[in-house]
Amino acid sequence: MADFSLNDDQLQIQKWVHDFAENVIRPAGHEWDEREEFPYPIVQQAAEIGLYGWEFLMNTFSDPTGLTLPVCIEELFWGDAGIGMAIMGSALAAAGISGNGTPEQVMEWVPQCYGDAKDIKLGAFCVSEPDAGSDVSSLRTRAVYDEANDEWVLNGTKAWITNGGIADVHVVVAAVDPELKGRGQASFIVPPGTKGLSQGQKYLKHGIKASHTAEVVLDDVRIPGSCLLGGKEKLDAKLARARERGSSGEKQPAMATFEATRPSVGAQALGIARAAYEYALEYAKERKAFGKPIIQHQAIAFKLANMATEIDASRLLIWRAAWLARNGGFKNGEGSMSKYKASEVAVRVTEDAIQILGGYGYTREYPVERWHRDAKIHTIFEGTSEIQQLVIARAISGMRIE
């Protein structure tokens, strides 16, 4: 049975992350948004206190209630989403390794996605391609096995990759047998400094500008056989089953990773929404129009009431999904519900916050316009809102819906 009261450890860690978000991240948000560069000094500071690091991530992954991670992420993104994403970006690579790798591979590669406080490293999870975003079964990046040298050779182009090209460890999902679509794919580690991997264009974005997003070009990238996550024997068995039945019934490696991380992405959106709501609430108590604080005009008060309600509803869905992910798994698309709801709420709440701040809200002197831009990505990456609706519709109906 789920119990959503946070224990003492969780309350302590929540306060610890909140303090860092309030004192370090929030004051730096505007500057790094304007610079549109990866905020190395801030990530470095996060590493120094142990907030950016594989031990922190593994501790939150091992929490049996599942709540510690979304609680921490909400606080981080409450501080600033671009910087929050810079701190959390490597976690997607770590999740890709943990979800598909052997215990030995997890121990070898996850720490290399983070480095240490003296020398921070980054990880990137490379799935999307110019012609395959939502439709991950159509990946064109190929992985071919060179048996004589026990090496895999990767070729292709990945698009919109967080930390792409600047990461030390790239986790790449590629087609081994394209005819099997998603069932013929596998995940690979491209170790630091591997020849043939390069950064393509860096994208200039609408929001989360402090997070680095770029193309990753793979040109005859040769990696040792041991870099196939899960190992060759497991892959061969999976491919054989898929060829026999047309479908192995196993999840695509990318989808399995994204499913597990959905409550976390919802928590990112929730942090932004809460920041905007709190800011708008305080502003509405101070700002006067027609002789009284604007919160005493019902139109504004009701907007704030709706914002508070929707934020709480999002948090409950996120915490339920995070709890289920550790306690029995999703049954009716609960992970997708949480990401879908929280990201749509974040877009609406941040827009309402701009409305409440009026002209000031539309200027870059106030943070709410940035939060609105930052919120929007959450309805797009790690499965668009439409794809979340598809997952939920399939789960509740048990039917094929295209």
Ligand X SMILES: Cc1cc2nc3c(=O)[nH]c(=O)nc-3n(C[C@H](O)[C@H](O)[C@H](O)COP(=O)(O)OP(=O)(O)OC[C@H]3O[C@@H](n4cnc5c(N)ncnc54)[C@H](O)[C@@H]3O)c2cc1C
Q: Which residues are catalytic?
A: 382
Answer yes or no whether residue 112 interacts with ligand X by CB under 6 A. Answer: no
Rank residues 180 and 377 by Cβ distance to ligand X and give the closer one.
377
Least Cβ distance, residue 290 to ligand X (angstroms):
41
**Tally of residues, the chain:** 402
**Residue whose entry in the numeric block shows the structure tokens 């020849």:** 195
Round to whole Å and give the CA distance between 60 and 66: 8
By CB under 6 A, the residues from 239 to 268 that bind ligand X are: none
Rank residues 65 and 141 by Cβ distance to ligand X and give the closer one.
141
Which pair of tokens denotes residue 90?
A: 């490597």
Instruction: Single out the segment in contact with ligand X by CB under 6 A; choices: 101-109, 121-129, 274-282, 300-308.
Output: 121-129
**Region at 163 (left for phi over 0; alpha for psi -120 to 50; beta for the rest):** left
Rank residues 6 and 380 by Cβ distance to ligand X and give the closer one.
380
The residue type at 223: I
Task: Report the DSSP beta bridge partners of residue 172.
Answer: 126, 188
SS3 137: helix
By CB under 6 A, the residues from 154 to 173 that bind ligand X are: 160-162
Number of separate helices (H) and strands (E) present in the chain? 13, 11
Rank residues 133 and 191 by Cβ distance to ligand X and give the closer one.
133
In order of 134, 137, 255, 277, the CA distances from 385 in angstroms are: 11, 18, 15, 22
Q: DSSP for 167-197?
A: -SEEEEEEESSGGGGGGGEEEEEE-TT-TTE
Q: Which residue is nearest to ligand X (CB)?
A: 133
Answer yes or no whether residue 126 interacts with ligand X by CB under 6 A. Answer: yes
Least Cβ distance, residue 377 to ligand X (angstroms):
5
By CB under 6 A, the residues from 354 to 393 that bind ligand X are: 377, 380-382, 384, 386-387, 390
Least Cβ distance, residue 393 to ligand X (angstroms):
10
In order of 88, 106, 125, 387, the CA distances from 113 in angstroms are: 11, 11, 11, 29
Check: CB of residue 101 under 8 Å from CB of residue 109.
yes
Rank residues 126 and 227 by Cβ distance to ligand X and give the closer one.
126
- Which of 12, 134, 149, 363 binds ligand X (CB under 6 A)? It is 134
Answer yes or no whether residue 141 interacts with ligand X by CB under 6 A. Answer: no
Interface residues toward ligand X, by CB under 6 A? 92, 125-128, 133-135, 160-162, 205, 208, 213, 377, 380-382, 384, 386-387, 390, 402
